[in-house]
Amino acid sequence: MLQIAKKEGNYIISFKEEVNRFNLYISDDVKDILSKFISQPGNKLILDMEGIKFIDSTGFAVLLSVYNSANENNCTIEFQNIDPEVLELFEVVKLKEKFKIYDN
């Protein structure tokens, strides 16, 4: 479901090609995996959202929970390659300004 790479000390986590929806069905697994990386203080995660075409409320809840936990553990989580329609969902749920999102 997720692919993990380390580049220049940062963890780059991306969704496998066959995954295009971040929803209830994968949210627990994604949260468990991301939580392992933010448990170590100082880690930086870059979540590559390429290929994700939809995020439901459960997916956003996971992102917010992981983001808050990362801040508590002095970790950083950033986002890249967000589809324009998904970026619009970030705006609708008022999380675009909260998260650090890189332009595609």
Task: Say what the pLDDT of residue 102 is.
Answer: 87
CA distance 98 to 104: 18
Please say whether the beta carbons of 35 and 70 come within 8 A. no
10-residue averages of pLDDT along the chain (104 residues): 94 96 97 94 96 97 96 96 95 92 79
For 1-104, where are the E strands, in sequence order? 2-7, 10-15, 21-22, 44-48, 54-55, 76-80, 100-101
Domains of the chain by residue range: 2-101
Selected from 3.30.750.24, 3.30.360.10, 3.40.50.11270, 2.30.30.830, the CATH number assigned to the domain covering 2-101 reads 3.30.750.24
Q: What is the DSSP letter of 42?
A: T
CA gap 96, 102 in Å, rounded? 11
pLDDT value at residue 104: 61
